[in-house]
Amino acid sequence: MTEQFLTELETIVEKDRIFENEPMKKHTTFRVGGPADVLIQPRKEELPGVLELCKKQEVPFYIIGNGSNLLVGDKGIRGVVLEMSAGEEAVTVGGTTLRAAAGVMLSKAANAAAGAGLTGMEFAAGIPGTVGGAVVMNAGAYGGEMKDILVSVTVVDEHGTTKEVKAEDLELGYRQSNILKNHWIVTEAVLQLAEGEERAIREKMNTLAEQRREKQPLQYPSAGSTFKRPEGYFAGKLIMDAGLRGHRAGGAQVSEKHCGFVINTGDATAADIRRLMEEVTAEVERQFGVTLEPEVKMLGEF
């Protein structure tokens, strides 16, 4: 990264939100990953300037949220990582509509909805990601998905232009959208919820949280469900039936509590995790003829 780039960057983003050689293990729920050349926590109004600078200097850039669905290579990321952070007044409620900045944690947005007596977002309360990341991958759990409640998003395109895109134009499907394909950066989402009773909403949220604690290895670093659900199957059951419960590669392990999770037992590297995912994929395909597709996104140099 050139000094000229950093000097110009500091005219756009405050210096205390620019981090050089930043370990990505601090920014992913797997708690692995080498350093990014530069990590920035931009405000949405700064994005056009940052994108213009990257384009002018031919510096690659990557967008992340909470890093809850991300595996970053041990050699890190060459270029700039834009970590979308929530600003002030990040969640607002009007009637049955909730508006949230992309960097807001889903848990915070769901709690704001509950506090306003709005139902429909309970499924998202325990997903450890941001609103923006949840929109990009159409996150879901317990029968609910973002597409069920999403009205529109505000995005910045690769030219630095801000525009609003309706949910029906995002090609939302199972853990996918067209946002990455279009090189858009989500800065805000508008959700349509329904009137409810706060006590009942919170009871449902608590019930789902208890189910998570019972069934998922929340005490270990992970990226949640490691593989997408194959049509007609459940990834975790296929992995279990393949005899891979507890299977390890270095410090990475198929969770004994829930085989759909690959966990970092404490000293895993990104290479360990990727190798374990590859071994699981190969064995499930060998035994059952089903190809598991990663839900986890890989970024950087391995």
Kindly list the catalytic residues.
175, 225, 295
Instruction: Give residue for tokens 């915070």.
Output: 108
- Separation between Cα atoms, residue 99 and residue 195, nearest integer Å: 16
- State the DSSP string of 47-91: HHHHHHHHHHHT--EEEESSSTTEEE-TTBEEEEEEE----TT-E
- Separation between Cα atoms, residue 263 and residue 29, nearest integer Å: 10
- Can you name the residues that pair with 64 across neighbouring β-strands? 83
- Can you name the residues that pair with 100 across neighbouring β-strands? 91, 189
Q: Which two tokens stand for residue 299?
A: 């970024």
Q: Which two tokens stand for residue 149?
A: 């409640």
- Separation between Cα atoms, residue 250 and residue 245, nearest integer Å: 15
Task: Find the distance separating the first CA and the last CA of the chain, reported in whole Å.
Answer: 20
Q: How many CB atoms lie within 10 A of CB 75?
A: 14
Helix, strand, or coil (residue 207): helix
- Separation between Cα atoms, residue 3 and residue 123, nearest integer Å: 46
CA atoms within 13 A on the CB side of 259: 18
Q: Which two tokens stand for residue 265?
A: 């037992």
Burial of residue 223 (number of CB atoms within 10 Å: 0-12, 13-18, 19+): buried
